[in-house]
Every structure is written in C-alpha cells, then in structure tokens.
Amino acid sequence: MLRIKLFPGAHDFLSLAQGSFDPKGPVARGMAELWWVMVAISVVVFLIVLVALWYAAFRRRDAVAESKTDDVSLSPSRWIVWGGVVMPLVVLTVIFALTLSAMRSITPSLPSDPVVIEVVGNQWWWEIRYEGHEFATANEIHLPVGEPVEIRLTSADVIHSFWVPNLGGKMDALPDYENSLVLQADEPGDYRGQCAEFCGLQHAKMGILAIARPRAEFDEWLAAQALPAREPSGALEMRGRDVFLEAGCPQCHTIRGTSANGDTGPDLTHVAARQTLAAVTIPNTPEHLSNWIADPDSVKSGTEMDPSPLGKEELEALTAYLGALR
C-alpha cells in the first residue's frame, strides 16, 4: 500500500493512504482492475517480444551455420501478419472491450435522488456545496457510505483537477464548463485527495479530504452545516467576533448569522467542524489556526490570504471565536 508521509510525526490526515492501487469503492476498483489487467497483458507482450528478439539474434544464425538451410518455421511475411497484424488486433480488441466495461463501472447509474455535490476549484482550495442546501463549506467533502455520489466540478479561476484516488477517477475542474464524476466509498473512512493539475504556486497544497460516514451520520452533518453560526459564548469569543468583523476578514469570508458575507475565501460558518485548515495542509488546532491567521505565508506561501496585523490579545480572541464555530 502506498503511504504518503510528508514529515515525521505528521498529523494523521497527512499520512493517509492516497493511492489508486488501494481502491476503497467500486468506481476506483473498476479502474484499478483494468490497470492490473493491462499491466499483465503488457508483460506478456513484452516477454514475447524479448523471445522473438532472442530468436532473431541467435537461433537463426545457429540454424544457418549448422544446416545451411533456412529452417525457421515462420517466413518473414508470416511473422509480419501474425506478429504485426493479428496479435495487436487481438490485444487491442481485448483491451478495448475491458475498457468499455470499466467505463461502465466508472459511471455507475445513480439512484433516483442522488447526493449531488458542487465542487469549485479556487487557487488554492475547494468550495463545496450540496445541491438542495444553502450552505457552503470547504476542502472536506462529506459523503454517505455505499452510495454513488455525483460530483459536479467547475473552477473559479484556472484549470484544477479533482482527484481522490482511493474512491474514484481524476477529473478536470474547468472555468467555463461543468464536468462531473461519481465517487463511492465502501466503508466509512477519511480519504485524502489532491488537486492533480498544476495550478500555480500552491498547487501541491490544494488537498481534499473525502469523509465517508454512514447515512445517518452524514444526514446529521448536513443538518448541522445548514444551521447559522453558533453565537459566541463568553467575553473572549464575543471580543473575537468583533475582531473578525472589524479586521477585514468579512471582505473574503462569510459567517452566516453575522454581517460577514465575503465570497472569495472559504465560508467559515462551521470552520471548527473541519479537521484541517488551508486545504488539508495543517490540522485544525488553536495553535495552527492562530499561526495561519497571523502569518498565512509561512504556512502556504503565495496564498491569497493577507497576514493580519493583530495584537496578541486580538489574535487570541479571534482564535477562540473561530475555534468555537462548530
């Protein structure tokens, strides 16, 4: 199993297995199986070519030297017909048929009322919306286990590519055209994904976390996300909300239930309910959150988020407020 460990002691989500050889759903499995069959066929063809090469280099010379007669069983024209026409035709036909059947598994028929998730690529994060619901979230895609889920992809700027290898295929997110793909997870789990099309400075830190949960838990999550932001409790959090509203954060971020309704950065209404920050770059802990707000460039250089010239007390209050937005 391919395991990505970015640095020793990394948080769990950074070391999640991320690979198409370890399929965790029928869509990914269809592709992995096709890949292995193609590898097996390629190995057989390669071995046949090696044997033929060996035969051409040595056998014929020996035969000619020993008997002065050409005892090679196949004439050159037969070699061309069998090796150059018949064999490729058979191999390619078999692969074509297998590909067609794999394509069917990649686009399984959706239930009559499928979960449809609209994903928009941004430099360098993902906006996520659920059809039929008003809320927006970012970077972490929740889906119900065992159900094919439709992902509709677009981009707000350049071309990105959406890829959660353990669950499904790779698909471009384009600015002016909607692409779609299907993901399905067999079992509950967190599956890391990645933007797979170079899209600028922080392409490598444009991660995705697909979070598959049993249907009841998924529905609970949906209902919680649809609520407006939790009211601050206590003086520190109240102060934090004031800091948030006055420090320029609302120019880019929305927190439903407050006057903040910016739309160029991730919606923060339930930011504390996410496991990660900065597009699956850092764990969502108070220390990382505070550091990310104070000096975003040190976490993700080139990020569109400006550093906040906040005092220690303001930063502490802001972190307490955002950290409570579950």
Which residues would be at the binding site for ligand CUA (CB under 6 A)?
121, 124, 160, 195, 197-199, 203, 206
Nearer to ligand CUA, 199 or 243 (CB): 199
- Judge whether 162 and 153 are in contact, CB under 8 Å: yes
> From the CB of 158, what's the least distance to ligand CUA, in Å?
7
Cα Dmax for the chain: 102
Residue among 129 and 203 whose Cβ is closer to ligand CUA = 203
Cβ at position 193, least distance to ligand CUA in Å: 11
Question: For residue 58, how many other CB atoms are within 10 A of its CB?
Answer: 10
Q: What residue type is assigned to position 57 of the chain?
A: A
Nearer to ligand CUA, 199 or 305 (CB): 199
Residue 82 vs 198, nearer CB to ligand CUA: 198
Looking at beta carbons only, is 144 or 207 nearer to ligand CUA?
207
Cα(244)–Cα(249) distance, rounded to whole angstroms? 6
Q: Write out 162-212 in H/E/C secondary structure.
A: EECCCCCCEEEECCCCCEEEEECCCCCEEEEEEECCCCCCCHHHCEEEEEE
Report the residue number, 11 or 203, with the smaller CB distance to ligand CUA. Answer: 203
Provide the phi-psi class of 66: left if phi over 0, else alpha when psi is between -120 and 50, else beta.
alpha
CB-nearer residue toward ligand CUA: 13 or 124:
124
**Spacing of C-alpha 40 from chain mean position:** 27
* CB 120 to ligand CUA: min, Å: 11
Minimum CB separation from ligand CUA for residue 122, in Å? Answer: 8
The burial of 100, by beta-carbon neighbours within 10 Å (0-12 exposed, 13-18 middle, 19 or more buried), is given as exposed
Nearest distance in Å: CB 121, ligand CUA: 5
CB of 155 vs ligand CUA, minimal distance in Å: 8
**Six-digit token string for 92:** 């390619």
Query: Exposure of 289 by Cβ count < 10 A (0-12 exposed, 13-18 middle, 19+ buried)?
Result: buried
Which position has the token pair 């972490």? 140
Residue showing tokens 């993901």: 183
In angstroms, give the least distance from the CB of 281 to ligand CUA.
Answer: 13
